[in-house]
Amino acid sequence: MQDALQDLIGDISGGVSFSRASAMLVTRVTNILNCDICSLFVVDNKTKNLQLVANEGFRDIDPNSIVVPADTGVVGMVAKRKEPINLTNINQHPDVYFLEGQSENAFPSFLGVPILYQRRILGVLVAQDEYHEFTEDDEGFLTSLATSFAHDLSHAIATNEITLGAVPPKRREEQHFKGYAGSPGIASGIAVVRHPHAQLEDVTYRVIEPNDVDHELAEFNEALNLVVQDLNQGRERMQSVLGAEELALFDAYLHMLDDDALPHEVRTTVLNECVGAQTAVSNVFSRHIRELERSESSYLAERGQDLRDLGQRILAAMQRQDRSDNDIPPNSILVAHEVSASMLSEVPSENLIGVVSAEGSMNSHVTILARALNLPAVIGAEDLPLLDIDNLPLIVDGYYGEIVVNPSAATTSHFEELVDVEESFQAELDEIRDLPSVTMDGVRINVWVNIGLVSEISRSLDLGAEGIGLFRTEVPFANRNRFPTEEEQRRIYREHMEAFDPRPVTMRTLDIGGDKDLPYFKIEEENPFLGWRGIRVTLDHPDIFLGQVRAMFKANADLEGILRIMLPMVSNIEEIEIAKRYIDQAYREVIEEGVNAKQPQIGVMIEVPSLIFQRQQVMRLVDFLAIGTNDLTQYMLAASRTNPQVAELYREFDPSMVHALRMLAKTAHEARKPIGICGELAGTVEGAVMCIGMGYDVLSMNATNIPRVKWVIRNITMTNCRRIVARALRMHSAREIFNFIREQLHGAGLDKALPPHEPPAIFF
Ligand code: PEP
Ligand code: MG
């Protein structure tokens, strides 16, 4: 039964439509359980009915007519209790519900299991038989199936793939969807949905007459020129906002379309084989993609994806599928299944006000770019019905990751008011840009930036960054097709250090693994967040570690600013000792080479809870501590930072976190060494106030949040922050702590700095 279960789960989640999946599900269940009937009921939240959406086995009853009030019958009881019910004879149950015209259930043996998703009841899966009872094994089977199917069902309900109720939802109705808050801000505009380009595999093989060859070649050349022109324009548009490193992405693309490369092969194929240009593009590109994908090297396999993208762009141009800039109205919100860097670059920036990507995570390219471009963005909005929303009015709430499709007049004016409030507050923030971050009672707090893209340097400085608290060195590593050389690294690091000099710059050694992949150095693991990550990788590869550290020393030579080297994902003391020995070796090597290097400060990120309990020993070995709350939260609470299923449990204000942060700060103070926070928590107003109260010296955050946090620092007293922490330490839940800090901020008249509205109702 186990194998049958796995096969069935594989088949229904293998990309088939929902109606096909549900039909397959009920038919196969009757075979596997050897029973007469299987039914899938779905809860209709509007009418509060349980509606039958798929059935195998009913003969005399029209399945479409079956709608059961949700609080009625045994099926209703399964939904209400959220637990399985297994009955030998349903006819004897006091709550049995007979359909109209029925006085007895002809299939009395009954097994019903709830379909639950994120604690919500979505439906009930029922098996019935005339004679045989259902066993515990059957119950286990149906429960496992319901659990696996829940995600697909939730998606189908959200995207209206199932029509529930007598009246199907109207297109013009206001609808709310949820994703991650990728980049802060609110945008109210028009959805511009981009779909994947024409598929290479869909081109039909077309033979042409020899005298059509010229025409086909002309079509191909025109399409190729258009694609090259588009890529060049995209590159130019991005030039002002991206650095040389990121622009290299576009150059790599353009090289593949050099005239003597693939285009030459396409032309030869048209000429020699007398086939249409689209056929030739499909054949030539597909052949190369297959070769690349067969390769063992993950880097080459990735390039196969690039080739596919290019081939499909050329096809789309030949099929006139591309939209011109005229299709991008002012106030456009770019929406796609997976927004890519090149898609972003295709949209004229003056018309683009927001981004929505159904796929993606907090560290994905699109998120980083949206922040760098200062565009509100919601990422990972899996349930958004992309096919239905092109050209519809849309609101993107980048503070809470909410999307409103077809907002009502009242909703639109509510959000537009919020945008106005934001803009006027923005003017106030601009005024304090160059003023120091000092509390009203005179305590200086360092507000630094988390950075990774060269393009963010000037923006960070403009927004008032007083240093770099976290340079994510993996970002420049990820933007190329091989490891950067020591000299390439030196140049990138130098650009940052020179721009910030004499401000301090904190260089984190390479932090890959987990959800951060390099295209040319794939780490495939079953449990990547608990695997080969951060310092574990670089200590196993001293070549990478030493090269990086040498590049850091060289980049810092002759500058006034202090070099701070920071070690990620440390979980024991030994790792610190070994890393320090390597840093010392690199220092001696560069000195021997005649580099005017200075001794660095060495710090450790506290991201793994084990270090909290060895904090005194850690403190003795290092010059500073920086708390990576993004990872510390997930390891402390065993709730992945990237899994929406447990997002509710990922609580940065959990009492365990608050106590840990307080303990770490105390240890640093006793040792008279600096301590900072460089997780996302530092960039939230609530988190910043709490950390200031605990005595953190450095708050390091993404550039966008700097002005707001600085404003709060300048308008609050340390005494008040300490009082807030003292109360928070006595509380029992993350929500209690968070709400309390919010109340205090309101009370102190600082609510302007909070996101301009309360979290939307769909979040609770
Ligand atoms: C953290 O974990 O808090 C952190 C700053 O590192 P990253 O988000 O890059 O993992
Ligand atoms: Mg981390």
Of all protein residues, the one whose alpha carbon is nearest to atom 3 of ligand 1 is 628
Distances (CA, A) of 443 to 124, 713, 718, 739: 59, 9, 7, 25
Q: Classify residue 324 as left (phi > 0), alpha (psi -120 to 50) or beta.
A: beta
The larger pLDDT score, comparing residue 236 to residue 87, is at: 87
- Active site (annotated) includes residue 678: yes
Mean pLDDT of the 75-95 span: 88
Of all protein residues, the one whose alpha carbon is nearest to atom 6 of ligand 1 is 628
pLDDT at 172: 62
Rounded to the nearest whole angstrom, what is the distance from the C-alpha of residue 741 to the centroid of ligand 2? 25
CA distance 661 to 694: 8
How many residues would you count in the chain? Answer: 764
Ligand with the closest atom to the CA of 508: 1
Q: What ligand 1 atom has the least distance to the C-alpha of 626?
A: 5
For ligand 1, say whether the CB of 472 is within 6 Å of any of its atoms.
Answer: yes
For ligand 1, say whether the CB of 538 is within 6 Å of any of its atoms.
Answer: no
Q: What ligand 1 atom has the least distance to the C-alpha of 681?
A: 3
Least confident of 168-172, 392-396, 651-655: 168-172
Confidence of residue 127 (pLDDT cuts 50, 70, 90): very high
Q: Which of 322-336, 378-392, 591-605 has the highest mean pLDDT?
A: 591-605
- The answer to whether 439 and 710 have CB atoms below 8 angstroms apart is no
Confidence of residue 60 (pLDDT cuts 50, 70, 90): low
User: In this predicted model, what pLDDT tens digit does every residue of 665-684 receive, in sequence order?
Assistant: 999 999 999 999 999 899 99
* List 35, 38, 678, 691, catalytic entry: 678
Residue 171 has pLDDT above 50, yes or no: no
Joined together, the tokens standing for residue 39 give: 């039914």
CA distance 494 to 273: 54
Q: What ligand 1 atom has the least distance to the C-alpha of 628?
A: 3
Residue corresponding to tokens 């809860």: 43
Of all protein residues, the one whose alpha carbon is nearest to atom 4 of ligand 1 is 628
User: In this predicted model, what pLDDT tens digit does every residue of 622-651 receive, in sequence order?
Assistant: 999 999 999 999 999 999 887 767 878 999
- Active site (annotated) includes residue 691: no
Confidence of residue 764 (pLDDT cuts 50, 70, 90): very low
Distances (CA, A) of 586 to 313, 328, 563, 579: 47, 52, 14, 11
Ligand with the closest atom to the CA of 627: 1
Of all protein residues, the one whose alpha carbon is nearest to atom 9 of ligand 1 is 472
For ligand 1, say whether the CB of 678 is within 6 Å of any of its atoms.
Answer: yes
For a mutational test of ligand 1's pocket, the pick from 511, 535, 675, i.e. the residue with the most ligand atoms closer than 8 A to its C-beta, is: 511
CA distance 759 to 397: 10
For ligand 1, say whether the CB of 628 is within 6 Å of any of its atoms.
Answer: yes
Mean pLDDT of the chain: 87
* List 197, 288, 365, 496, catalytic entry: 365
CA distance 555 to 543: 18
For ligand 1, say whether the CB of 452 is within 6 Å of any of its atoms.
Answer: no
DSSP state of 563: E
Beta-carbon contacts of residue 410 (< 8 Å; ≥ 6 apart) = none
Q: What ligand 1 atom has the least distance to the C-alpha of 470?
A: 5
Residue 506 has pLDDT above 80, yes or no: yes
The larger pLDDT score, comparing residue 238 to residue 168, is at: 238
For ligand 1, say whether the CB of 683 is within 6 Å of any of its atoms.
Answer: no
- The answer to whether 609 and 657 have CB atoms below 8 angstroms apart is no
Rounded to the nearest whole angstrom, what is the distance from the C-alpha of residue 560 to the centroid of ligand 2? 28
For ligand 1, say whether the CB of 474 is within 6 Å of any of its atoms.
Answer: no
Strands 402-405 and 175-178: antiparallel
Mean pLDDT of the 608-635 span: 97
Residue 121 has pLDDT above 80, yes or no: yes
Rounded to the nearest whole angstrom, what is the distance from the C-alpha of residue 607 to the centroid of ligand 1? 8
CA distance 570 to 680: 19
Residues of the chain with pLDDT > 70, as a percent, come to: 91
pLDDT at 473: 94
Q: What ligand 1 atom has the least distance to the C-alpha of 629?
A: 3
Bridge partners, 112 (sequence order): 85, 126
The four Cα atoms 324, 326, 332, 334 give a dihedral, to 10 degrees, of 0
For ligand 1, say whether the CB of 630 is within 6 Å of any of its atoms.
Answer: yes
Phi first, then psi: give them for residue 689, nearest 5 degrees: -60, -40
